[in-house]
């Protein structure tokens, strides 16, 4: 099973993806984690990714796609993948579908975690204090990331609706309530 988990920054994608990864024995591919790992290790890609992230922009498709393909290739024996933070554009969605098709795979389900913007801002600011992440402590940069998401990523909803693979759930409640909703949706889909 291959799942794409959507949601604006701060919606809980990473937390929920970790639960799903464990429950269904999937490989979790988080573009944010991959970028942070490269930034921490001061790789060339990390430096480039940092310049985009620090200005509140999305990392360009070509860089993101190279890293994603590498992670999939490194995990060929996986029982499936949960994609967290990818795809973010229609072009990335098309590329992901084409790449998976070459591997005799496909996206089975896409799930969007829906959370009110003000709740997200509060969550991200708290996360910024707790983690020390500079990009999570600046309201302007947070808002810019929301604008990028709304302009580029939210249009993927129609892309996956047209494939009958898009579902949204309320992501505003407790972590466990959201997790229970996700598991119920995934189990229903697995059994259909």
* Tens digits of residue pLDDT in 3-53: 999 899 899 998 999 999 999 999 999 887 888 888 899 988 788 888 887
Q: Are strands 166-170 and 2-7 parallel, antiparallel or unpaired?
A: unpaired
Burial track 61-80 (b if 16+ CB lie within 10 A, e otherwise):
bebbbebbeebbeeeeebeb
* Tens digits of residue pLDDT in 134-151: 878 888 888 888 988 888
Residue 13 structure tokens: 């994608």
**Which phi and psi angles does 78 have, rounded to 5°?**
-65, 150
Does residue 185 have a pLDDT over 90? yes
Q: Please give the average per-residue pLDDT across 146-165, as a whole number.
A: 88
Who wins on pLDDT, 45 or 187?
187
Are 26 and 133 contacting, i.e. CB atoms less than 8 angstroms apart?
Answer: no
Chain-centroid distance of CA 59 in Å reads: 13
Residue 11 structure tokens: 């919606």
Does residue 162 have a pLDDT over 80? yes
Does residue 192 have a pLDDT over 70? no
In angstroms, the CA 99 to CA 179 distance is 29
Bond before 87 cis per omega within 30 degrees: yes
Where do we find the tokens 């001061």? 42
Residue among 179, 139, 130, 180 nearest 9 (CA): 139
In angstroms, the CA 122 to CA 86 distance is 24
Q: What pLDDT, on the 0 to 100 scale, is given for residue 171?
A: 94
* Tens digits of residue pLDDT in 70-114: 788 888 889 999 998 789 888 889 999 999 999 899 999 999 999
In angstroms, the CA 60 to CA 65 distance is 9
Which fold is adopted by the domain 2-191?
Rossmann fold (3.40.50)
**Which phi and psi angles does 138 have, rounded to 5°?**
-120, 110
* Rg, Å, the chain Cα set: 16
Q: What pLDDT, on the 0 to 100 scale, is given for residue 56?
A: 73
> Across the strands, what pairs with 45?
none
In angstroms, the CA 20 to CA 182 distance is 8
Q: What pLDDT, on the 0 to 100 scale, is given for residue 53?
A: 79
Where do we find the tokens 């409640």? 173
Q: What pLDDT, on the 0 to 100 scale, is given for residue 36?
A: 82
């Amino acid at each position: 099973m291959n799942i794409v988990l959507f949601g604006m920054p701060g919606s809980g994608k990473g937390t929920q993806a970790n639960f799903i990864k464990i429950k269904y024995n999937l490989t979790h591919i988080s573009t944010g984690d991959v970028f942070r790992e490269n930034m921490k290790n001061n790789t060339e890609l990390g430096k480039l990714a940092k310049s985009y992230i620090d200005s509140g922009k999305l990392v360009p498709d070509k860089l993101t796609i190279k890293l994603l393909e590498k992670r999939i290739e490194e995990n060929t024996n996986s029982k499936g993948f949960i994609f967290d933070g990818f795809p973010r554009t229609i072009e990335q969605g098309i590329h992901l579908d084409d790449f998976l098709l070459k591997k005799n795979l496909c996206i089975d389900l896409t799930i969007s975690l829906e959370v009110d913007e003000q709740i997200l801002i509060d969550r991200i600011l708290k996360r910024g204090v707790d983690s020390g992440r500079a990009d999570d402590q600046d309201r302007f940069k947070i808002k810019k990331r929301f604008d990028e998401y709304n302009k580029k990523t939210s249009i993927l909803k129609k892309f996956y609706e047209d494939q009958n693979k898009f579902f949204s759930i309320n992501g505003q409640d407790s972590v466990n309530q959201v997790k229970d909703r996700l598991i119920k949706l995934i189990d229903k889909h697995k059994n259909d």
